[in-house]
Chain A
Amino acid sequence: MRMMPLAVLPWRSLLLAAVTLFGVAVISFVLLRVVPGDPIAMMIAPGASAADIAQLRASYGLDRSIAVQFLIWLGHAITGDFGTSISMRQDVVHLIAARLPATIELTLLALVIALILGIGTAVLSTLSRRRLVGSAIDNSNGVLLAVPDFVWALAFVVLFGVALPVLPISGRVDPRLSIDFATSFILMESLARLHFDIALDVLAHMIMPALALALPLAAVILRVLKGALEAEAHQDYALLARIRGKSRLRVTLEETLRNALVPTLALTGVQFTFMFGGTVIVERIFAYPGIGNLAIDAVINRDLPLIQGLILTFGLIFILINLAVEASFGLLNPRLRHG
C-alpha cells in the first residue's frame, strides 16, 4: 500500500474523517428518528388537545420530512447547539462537557497501564531463556484474552472492594476531600495544584476501573508484540547485532523493539477505540461519572437529544484516535514517509 508523505497525510485524512463523522451523524439521526414512540408524547401535558399537539410538533419541525429535520438539526449542531436533554433538562453540550474529562482521564490511565503491562511482559517473555517462563506467560495470556473488562471489573469489586476492602468501589473522588476545581480534569488539576492527597484519592477511585479496561488490551498487546519481536529477532540486522556481541537484552531494547512496536501500536489504536466503548459498562459498575455511564442513563430514559450528542462525541473520539494512530505511523517508521 502506498503511503502519502507525512506532510500531505493530514489533509486527506482530515477530509475523510469529516466525511465519516457526517456519516455517523446521518445514520444515528435517521436511526433515532425511526424509534418506536413519539418524542412529543413524552413532553405533552395530559389532556392536551390535538391542536396543541400539532402546534408543538410544528414548533420542533417534526411535521416536516426527515431530510428537512436533519438540516434543521445540523444547522443548530454547527453552532454548538445540540438541544436540551429530556430527562435531565440541561443543555446536552454542557452535560457532556462536564462528564467527558472523567472518561478521558480514565481511558488515558488505562492505556498507560496496558502499554506498560503489555510491552513489559512481551519483552520479558521474549528474553526469558527458560522455556517455563515464556510458556507460563503464553498460557495465562490465552485465558486473559478470554476475560472481558466486564468480568474483570466485577471481580475487582469483590476482591479489593469487599473481600479485602482497600479500595473505594464507586464514584470519582471522596466528597469530603473535594475542592473547588476549575476544570473537570480533577486528577491532572489536583496534581498540578500539588494537592497530592486528593490526587491519591482520585487514583484510588480510578485504579480498579482503569485496570479492568487495561487488562484485555494488555493481553492483546502482549500477543502481537511477542510475535513481532520473534519475527524481528530473525532479521539480518538483529542477527548481525548478536554476532557483534550485543546481548539479547540490548538487541531487543536497542534494535528490534522499535520495529516490532509499529504493528503493535497500529493495533493498540484500534483496540483503544474499543476501550472507549468498554467505558460504557465499566463506568456503570463503578458508578464513575463519565460519558459511558451517562450513555446508559440516556438509553434507559430514551433521551434522544442526549443519545445523539453522545454518539457524535464517541464518533469524534474514535476518529481522532484513528488520526493520531495514522500520524504516529509516519513518526515511528521512516520508511512509510517516502512513497
Chain B
Amino acid sequence: MVEHRLAEPTATIAPHAIGKPSRRRLSGLSLLLREPRVLLAGGFLLLLLAAAIVAPAVAPHDPLEQDLMLNTLPPAWDSEAEPGYLLGTDSLGRDVLSRLIYGGRVAFTVAIVAALAAGVIGTALGLVAGYFGGWVDAAISRVIDIWMAFPPVLLSILLVAVIGTGVTSVILAIVVIDWTRFCRVVRSETLQQAKMEYVDAAVTLGTGRWRILLKEILPNVLPVVVVLLSLEMGIAVIVEAVLSFVGLSVSSDTPTWGGMIAEGRQIIYQAWWVLVFPLVLLFATVLAFNQLGDGIRRLTDPVLRR
C-alpha cells in the first residue's frame, strides 16, 4: 500500500527527492544561508559535542564530587544560590552544570556510534536488496517485516534484559532495532536509481555490478543516508535517556541526562532544576538533530530547492 509507506515517520524523504545533486551548487555558502537551521542546529550540536569532549577543562566541578553541605542548591538567579554553582546542585550536592556537560559524553557516544553502525548495516543491506533483487531482496524484505512487528521500546527492553546493562548494550540494542530504518529507505531509493539511464550507460560500458553499486548508485543514495543519520542520532539520544531513566543504561555513577532526570523526578518538589535542565537540554538536542536532518534534506532535494 502506497499510502502506508508514505505515511511512516521515517520516510520523510520524498521518493523522487534525490536526483543527482550537483556538487558545485551544494558547496555554496549561499545555499547554507538559505537553510539557516542547518547552521544553527549544527552549530549548537558541535558546541555540545566540543564541551563533552573537553569536559574536564570546561566543567566547573567534578561531576561526581558530593558535598552534602551544599545539597539541592538552587540555580544562580535564586537569592539562596551559592556562587560557582550556576545551575544549582542535586540531592547529593553534585554540580548540575558539570553533570550536564559530562552527561553529553554518553549521549554523543551512543548517538554517533549507534547511528553510524545502524546506518552502515542498513545501507549495505538496502543497496544489495534494491539492486540485486530476486531472492536476496525477498529474504531481506521478509526479515524487515518481522522486525517491524516488534515495537521498538519493547524490543530494546527485551534486548537489554538479554545482553545486560551498559553503554555497549544500549548501542547494540539501537543498532539491532534501527538498521531497518536505513534499509527500507535505501532499498527503495536504490530501486529508483537502478532504473536511471546512467546505470544503463554503466552496464553498456561493461562496468561490473558491484562497481556500479558502489561507484555509481551509492553516491546518489548517500544524501538520504546523511539525513537519516541525523534523525537516527536524535532517536539514539532519546533511547539512551529513556534507558538510563529506568536504570537500564550505564552504571549509576556515570552522569547521564536520563539518570539526572530520574533523580530529579524523585525530588521534583524540593529541587525542580535537577529535572528541568537535563530535560531542556535533551529536548534541544533532539530537536537540533531533527532540524539538521530536515535542513540537509531541503538542501539536497532538487525539487524543494527550486
Contacts and interface: CB of A to CB of B under 8 A. Distances in A.
The reply to whether chain A is a binding partner of chain B is yes
Contacts of B4: 263, 266-267, 270
Nearest to B243: A281
Residue among B265, B268, B294 having the largest count of chain A Cβ atoms under 10 Å: B265
A23 interface: yes
A116 interface: no
Interface stretch (A28-36, A81-89, A186-194): A28-36
Interface stretch (B44-52, B115-123, B125-133, B155-163): B155-163
A224 B12 CA distance: 11
A318 B150 CA distance: 8
Contacts of A154: 261, 265, 275, 279
A142 B164 CA distance: 36
Contacts of A302: 161
B279 A311 contact: no
A162 B268 contact: yes
B197 interface: no
A286 to B, nearest CB: 10
Contact of A274 (B152, B269, B275, B286): B152
A263 B161 contact: no
A274 B276 CA distance: 26
Contact of A281 (B1, B3, B153, B234): B153
A8 interface: no
A280 interface: yes
B247 interface: yes
B227 to A, nearest CB: 14
Contacts of A70: none
B149 A318 contact: yes
Q: Secondary structure of the B side of the interface?
A: helix
Nearest to A329: B1
B287 A146 contact: yes
Given A158-B275, A296-B246, A311-B158, A278 B153 contact: yes
B253 interface: no
Residue among B161, B162, B245, B291 having the largest count of chain A Cβ atoms under 10 Å: B161
A150 interface: yes
B265 A280 contact: no
A307 interface: yes
Residue among A32, A150, A158, A281 having the largest count of chain B Cβ atoms under 10 Å: A150
B206 interface: no
A212 interface: no
Residue among B3, B7, B9, B294 having the largest count of chain A Cβ atoms under 10 Å: B7
Interface range, A side = 35 or more
B157 A146 contact: no
Given A147-B283, A300-B248, A318-B151, A307 B161 contact: yes
B154 to A, nearest CB: 5
Contacts of A147: 283, 286-287
A277 B152 contact: yes
B3 A162 contact: no
A232 to B, nearest CB: 12
A163 B279 CA distance: 15
B238 A148 contact: yes
B151 A266 contact: no
B154 A228 contact: no
Contacts of B160: 299
Contacts of A266: 1, 3-4, 7
Nearest to B246: A296
A281 B246 contact: yes
Given A274-B151, A296-B246, A314-B151, A280 B157 contact: yes
A158 B277 CA distance: 11
B282 interface: yes
B89 interface: no
Given A143-B287, A151-B238, A281-B242, 8 more contacts: A151-B279, A154-B261, A263-B7, A270-B8, A273-B151, A280-B157, A281-B153, A281-B245
Interface of A: 1, 20, 23-24, 28, 31-32, 34-36, 142-143, 145-148, 150-151, 154-155, 157-158, 161-163, 169, 220, 224, 227-228, 262-264, 266-267, 270, 273-274, 276-278, 280-281, 284-285, 295-296, 299-300, 302, 307, 311, 314, 318
Task: Report, nearest first, the 4 A-B pairs whose CB atoms are least far apart.
Answer: A263-B3, A277-B151, A277-B153, A146-B290
